[in-house]
Structure 1
Amino acid sequence: MSDMNGPTVRRVHHSGGDGRRLRMATVAALGSIALLLAACAGPTSSSSPSPSPSPRTDASAPKTSAKALDPAQAERLQRVWTPLLKAMDHPLQPNQVKVGLMDDAHINAANAGNGQFLVTTGLLEKANDDRLQAVLAHETAHEDLGHVAKAQALGTGLNIGMVILDQILPGSGALTPIAGQLILNKYSRNEEYAADKHGVELLRRIGKPKEQMIDALTWLTQVEGNSKGGFFATHPATGDRIEALRQMK
């Protein structure tokens, strides 16, 4: 992951079924050290004695490989994401956000807590700015609501391959991709609905309508609704979530 003057990105591809949590096990491109990341999950707080279920590996997910980040993509992440970070209930400065890049064609992103995020190349390549921002709003909402901090931690941290958002400069190509695979873990439906709702609130705070989130979820369904990988492999069924957003005042 890389440091940028903006949030560190991680993240999420929604998949069918009841609420699920995404965990990303990343493998450094030049080593065998695996890092377990919780998408919408993270270290257990002292008040949460119950461990989260053991994660399972999505055997059908293809292994990812390293790929150079287009400098324009680094600038795009800073531009699209920074307003959301400033709009949080607990705002994050760009230098507090770390982003890791997974070289995976699936559209996905995840929040690992403590300002740490993951995004896939598929998300950056296939989503337009509004859809990218909506997905990031959902992940940023998980961070703002402390969902990761309420879950049991897996792994040892996200130091390898991460970059600070505000240190990613246009043309630097500083956001280094990581090879790895997704590990899935059950998520609470309530947490996913809460992240959708708070994500919309964050978008509204920067002058965007709730329809931006609805459009992103609808698009994800159209693009990867039948896929076993990506966002829909780690998130609950989307139809009910879209309807809940439509009912949101």
Structure 2
Amino acid sequence: MNRKLVVTALLAASLLGCEANPVSGRKQLVLVSEEQAQASSAQAYVQTISAAQKQGKLSTDTALNARVKRITDRLVTQAEAMYPPSRDWKWSVAVIDEPTLNAWCMPGGKMAIYTGIVRKLNLTDDEIAQIMGHEITHALLGHGRERMSRAIAMQGGMALGSIVSGRDLSILAPVADVAITLPNSREGETEADRYGLELAARAGFDPRAAVRLWEKMSQASGNGPPQFLSTHPAPGNRIQALNALVPQMMPIYEKARR
């Protein structure tokens, strides 16, 4: 296989796999179907929840569980309006009793939030809604499929490149990760910030809570790693961007509250 054929094959895969996201309109590399993404996510979710249950790490705090369910139910209602195909998703949320500051939503609406982030940051309902709205929006925007597709494209590129060069290029994976994966992931994070803020506002949660949340996160994480090597925008940049978005979201929030 010659070099020209390799480049042509990779370019063709990228072009054939590009489609516009129905929520954001952004062109995405999608080599994985929604059905495949949801099936693999459902399997991973079952494994994660089963492991947590065996380890006694599923929250038994009935008040917290009910609180998270009440908040996410409101968000899901608006998510289904924002992206109608999600009405067919099997939405589910779990509260995992671990100290980590984290939450997530897989393709297909499988969600979890960790007690650590709620308790360590002393989160209000509005702040929990900002977290879960952000994570739900990752699923609505197809970011899980996008990450899977980038991984497939990168693996294919490494394999074909190794054939052409006659040597193992897998050692270059960390370089490719910095050059390709992280910038796209930061774009996804910024995109989820914007649409997550809107989703929470539509559900009647205060957009200003997103700024307070990231101020708390910044203090708890000590500002985290440099933005260049992080999949998340630097807290200071994120807070600045959210502050700029809040005035746009306040009318949506006020209408929902009425």
TM-score after normalising by structure 1: 0.54
Greater helix fraction, Structure 1 or Structure 2? 2
- The verdict on how the C-alpha distance between 1:109 and 1:223 changes in structure 2, with shifts beyond 3 A counting, is same
Residue type of the partner of 2:217? Answer: L
Matched, 1:119 2:113: yes
The higher radius of gyration belongs to 2
Q: Out of 123, 126, 134, which is 1:138 matched to?
A: 134
Q: Which residue of 1 aligns with 2:67?
A: 76
Partner SS, residue 99 of structure 1: strand
Q: 1:101 deviation in Å? A: 4.0
- The verdict on how the C-alpha distance between 1:238 and 1:95 changes in structure 2, with shifts beyond 3 A counting, is same
Residue type of the partner of 2:142? Answer: G
Q: Out of 79, 93, 99, which is 2:93 matched to?
A: 99
Q: Which residue of 1 aligns with 2:239?
A: 242
Q: How many residues align?
A: 157
Distance in 2 of aligned mates of 1:117 and 1:215: 23
- The verdict on how the C-alpha distance between 1:202 and 1:121 changes in structure 2, with shifts beyond 3 A counting, is same
Instruction: Verify the 8 A CA contact 2:74 2:203 in the aligned structure 1.
Output: yes
Which runs of 5 or more structure 1 residues have no equivalent in the other structure? 1-42, 48-63, 155-184
Q: 1:191 deviation in Å? A: 0.7
Instruction: Verify the 8 A CA contact 2:129 2:205 in the aligned structure 1.
Output: no
Q: Which residue of 1 aligns with 2:83?
A: 90
Q: Which residue of 2 aligns with 1:67?
A: 57
Partner SS, residue 110 of structure 1: strand
Residue type of the partner of 1:90? Answer: Y
Q: 1:94 deviation in Å? A: 10
Distance in 2 of aligned mates of 1:245 and 1:124: 21
Q: Out of 207, 212, 216, which is 2:209 matched to?
A: 212
Q: 1:128 deviation in Å? A: 2.4
Q: Could you tell which deviates more after superposition, 84-93 or 134-143?
A: 84-93
Distance in 1 of aligned mates of 2:31 and 2:113: 23
Partner SS, residue 190 of structure 2: helix
Residue type of the partner of 1:118? Answer: A
Distance in 2 of aligned mates of 1:234 and 1:102: 23
Instruction: Verify the 8 A CA contact 1:137 1:199 in the aligned structure 2.
Output: yes
Q: Which residue of 2 aligns with 1:4?
A: none
Q: Residues 148-185 of structure 1, C-alpha deviation per residue, up to 9 Å, x if partnerless?
A: 1222189xxxxxxxxxxxxxxxxxxxxxxxxxxxxxx8
Q: Greater relative contact order: 1 or 2 (C-alpha under 8 angstroms, separation 6 or more)?
A: 1
Counterparts in 2 of 1:174-213, with a 5 A limit? 186=182, 188-213=185-210
Residue type of the partner of 1:133? Answer: A
- The verdict on how the C-alpha distance between 1:242 and 1:224 changes in structure 2, with shifts beyond 3 A counting, is same
Superposed CA RMSD: 3.1
Instruction: Verify the 8 A CA contact 2:57 2:97 in the aligned structure 1.
Output: yes
Partner SS, residue 113 of structure 1: coil
* 4+ aligned runs moved over 4 Å, structure 1: 91-95
- The verdict on how the C-alpha distance between 1:208 and 1:124 changes in structure 2, with shifts beyond 3 A counting, is closer
The percentage of aligned residue pairs carrying the same residue is 29
Q: 1:135 deviation in Å? A: 0.6
Residue type of the partner of 1:114? Answer: G
Instruction: Verify the 8 A CA contact 2:218 2:224 in the aligned structure 1.
Output: no
